Amino acid sequence: ANMAHELRTPLNAINGFSELILGEAFGPLQPPKYREYIEFIGQGGQHLLSLINDILDLSKIEAGKMELHIEAVPTDQIVYQAAESVRKMATDRMVELRSEVANDCPILHADPRAARQILLNLLSNAVKFTPAEGSVTIGVMRNGGDGIHISIVDTGIGMTEAEAAKAFELYGQVESDLTKKSKGTGLGLPLVKSLAELHGGSLSLVSEKGRGTTVTVFLPWHVDLPRALA
């Protein structure tokens, strides 16, 4: 909690004032080159904040102090929010972003923040490991009467069995030309796996070197929550 406060307070100032300056609240940016620099500052601040949140969440999970508030969440809403968060990255990398939500799956049962975090981590990983002209697809479908499957399918560089095992290790990172351009902490898959298991679900991964990766998260139904929109 102390670390969260000490790190987030200055980052809130960095991110907040970056947005204020980019919005030109007190007049135009002169010379225009300053806009590019402020955008870099804002992007760096947001990236740092997301890394800090991942580290803190994993620490809470390991300490048994992560509390979930599971509710019935509109599937389209969660998918849209996560997709929009990585759309610019996908566009910049010339990666097509698609979504395929089954009509009979309008609701999922999850903690809304955790669900967004699961999708955001998986989507950003998929985009990062997919070369230009490739695609990343978010699929949501029912798993019979037990729950739903959320699948992130990419046409990226894929992994060997050994590389996949390393990706599930804390701070483990698979080295490639693509990761050299955008480093991470290696917390994405371990955090998603832990969050899925906290929901009573699971995570599975199938990957083939040079052909892409499919990561599937299973989230179970809860008997006391609705499975359809009112």
d(CA 184, CA 180) in angstroms, rounded, equals: 9
Lookup result for tokens 């580290």: 55
How far apart are alpha carbons 230 and 219 in whole angstroms? 21
User: Do residues 140 and 149 touch, judged by C-beta distance below 8 A?
Assistant: yes
pLDDT band at 189 (very low <50, low <70, confident <90, very high): confident
Q: What angle (nearest 5°) sits at the alpha carbon of residue 75, between those of residues 110 and 129?
A: 90
Q: Which residue has the higher pLDDT, 47 or 100?
A: 100
> Residue 181: is its pLDDT beyond 60?
no
pLDDT grade for 56, boundaries at 50, 70 and 90: confident
Compute how many other C-beta atoms are within 10 angstroms of the C-beta atom of residue 165: 12
H or E stretch including 173? none
Give the 3-state secondary structure of residue 18.
Answer: helix
Q: What percent of the chain has pLDDT over 90?
A: 54
77 pLDDT higher than 60 = yes
Q: Which helix (H) or strand (E) holds 95?
A: none
Q: What is the pLDDT of residues 8-40, one digit of tens each?
A: 888 889 999 999 999 998 888 888 889 989 988
Strand 96-101 and strand 135-143: the pairing is parallel
Q: Please, what's the b/e burial string for 198-212 (b: 16 or more CB within 10 A of its CB; e: otherwise)?
A: ebebebebebeeeeb
pLDDT of residue 137: 96
Question: Which pLDDT score is estimated for 140?
Answer: 96
Q: What is the pLDDT of residue 177?
A: 58
Residues 6+ apart with CB under 8 A from 30: none
Please check whether residue 133 is in contact with residue 171, taking contact to mean a CB–CB distance below 8 angstroms. no
Bigger pLDDT: 128 vs 53: 128
Note whether 30 and 57 are within 8 A (CB): no
Share of the chain above pLDDT 70, in %: 91
pLDDT at 6 over 90: no
Instruction: Supply the pLDDT for residue 50.
Output: 78
**What's the pTM value of the predicted model, to 2 decimals?**
0.80
pLDDT tens-digit map of 91-145:
999 999 999 999 999 999 999 989 998 999 999 999 999 999 999 999 999 988 8
- Angle at CA 165, nearest 5°, toward 163 and 166? 65
